[in-house]
Amino acid sequence: MEKLKVGILGLRRGLSHLRNFLNVEEAEVIGCADRLEGPREKAKEVIGDRPVKIVNEFEDLLDMKPDAVAVASNGRCQAAHAIQALEAGCHVISEVPGAFTQEEIVHIIAAAERTGKQYMLAENLSFLDFIRYWRKWILEERFGDISLADGEYLHYLPNTLVVPDGSCISPTQAREEGRGDVVRSWRSDQPPIQYLTHDLGPLLEVMDDHVVSVTCMDGPWWQTEAPLRADGQMALFKTAKGSLIRILVTLNTRRPGAHNFRLFGTLGSVEWYSHEGFCRRCDRDREEKEGWERIEIGTAAKGDDKKAGHGGTDIKTAYYFTKAILEGKPVPIDVFRMCDYTLPGILAARSAELGGQPITVPDIRRKPFEGTVLWDHVGLPEEEPEARKYESDMGTRY
């Protein structure tokens, strides 16, 4: 095939997928579907005069015989929709989390194997530019062995109630307006730690590893804007290589949103905080007393369109998915790697329910994990970015 014919399911978050595939030269969007009028109207603005058909039902979209479907529906429906698309003969790229239970993951794997179609998790942050450099530096042994890693997802989401037109409001707003026509969104009672793929995924890729066990604890349930989920959860994951990863996810804490990452090695460390937008590094060639180096690398690489969403990473999920399918290669984040990203969060939530009891995270592969393929697609930077002394209000050391 010359172009990959793509259908988009769900036009809220899926609006980004619509934009992305419309801007991938090797892809052709032939249709999109959403049951709500508001999202369909927004899609018309994005589509313009392109010959893209908009329908209400998923079945009508599948009747168009797309080669692939981008699943961006309600999170609790993503597994069922992905399986339905696979069974209809379509490759699938799914929004996160992709699945809510271990059983759903097993069913998605079985459907992909049964149909021979590819499934990719659209985890955009695994395509962050600074993560490419971190992987390069790890392979150059700039940090020695990575013993510890840290990831944080801080995102205040008070609008957890859905009104009939599909828009979301907060519990306070619903009380003030005396509304009785609201239903809870799929994330309103989701354990926060299950929404960890944005942070665990990139760390697993940069470390070329997978999780084998987890222990997790709940924070208090004090935020009245989201009374059916803990204010936050912290999990500790042990990897197959013996490293320890800590992930914090809070969806209830009122603060600016952020993704924060750190690696701790035997010879050095590196960190990135989204509110700063640059890396701090202290590698094997730098004395600790010299303090950090500041390196101006962030979410997007040179030439990336930062307006593409999530710092320029969104469109890369569509681009690399399309390229892999057309070339007959395995996708960058396949159905088993989706399991590596998603299942640890599901079992972390179970650990929290059991008061922090450690839980084994199984590898559902047919054969042992042999390593990530993401870097075969994305590639690593050849150049070394300029570094300068990091300076802060506390002095140059900290």
Q: Kindly report the CATH number assigned to the domain that includes residue 338.
A: 3.30.360.10
Domain boundary among 117, 134, 160: 117
Interval 184-213: pLDDT, tens: 888 787 899 999 999 999 999 999 999 999
The C-alpha atoms of residue 325 and residue 282 are separated, in whole angstroms, by: 39
User: Contact at 8 Å (CB) between 381 and 132?
Assistant: yes
- Shared domain for 281 and 210, answered yes or no, is yes
Same domain, 141 and 78: no
Query: Which of 58, 87, 117 finishes a domain?
Result: 117
107 and 173: one domain?
A: no
With a CB cutoff of 8 Å and minimum separation 6, the contacts of 150 are 245, 246, 247, 260, 261, 262, 263, 264
Q: Do 221 and 305 belong together in one domain?
A: yes
The predicted pLDDT at position 378 comes to: 96
Whether residue 326 lies inside any domain: the answer is no
pTM here is 0.95
pLDDT value, residue 395: 53
Residue 98 is part of a domain; what is its CATH number? 3.40.50.720
Residue 276 domain flag: yes
145 lies in the same domain as 34: no
How many domains is the chain partitioned into structurally?
2
Based on the fold, state whether residues 194 and 77 are members of the same structural domain.
no
Same domain? For 94 and 199 the reply is: no
Task: Per residue of the chain (398 residues), give pLDDT as tens.
Answer: 789 999 999 999 999 999 999 999 999 999 999 999 999 999 999 999 999 999 999 999 999 999 999 999 998 999 999 999 999 999 999 999 999 999 999 999 999 999 999 999 999 999 999 999 999 999 999 999 999 999 999 999 999 888 988 888 998 899 999 999 998 888 787 899 999 999 999 999 999 999 999 999 999 999 888 767 899 999 999 999 999 999 999 999 999 999 999 999 999 999 999 999 999 999 999 998 899 999 999 998 777 765 566 677 889 999 999 999 999 999 999 999 999 999 999 999 999 999 999 999 999 998 899 999 999 999 999 999 999 999 875 554 44
Q: Which residue has the tokens 């999109």?
A: 32
The answer to whether residues 130 and 107 belong to one domain is: no
Within 13 A of 306's CA, how many CA atoms are on the CB side? Answer: 8
Q: Does 318 fall in a domain?
A: no
Residue 317 domain flag: no
Claim to verify: residue 87 and residue 235 sit in the same structural domain: no
Both 145 and 220 in a single domain?
A: yes
Of 117, 144, 174, which residue constitutes the final position of a domain?
A: 117
Residues of the domain holding 47: 4-117
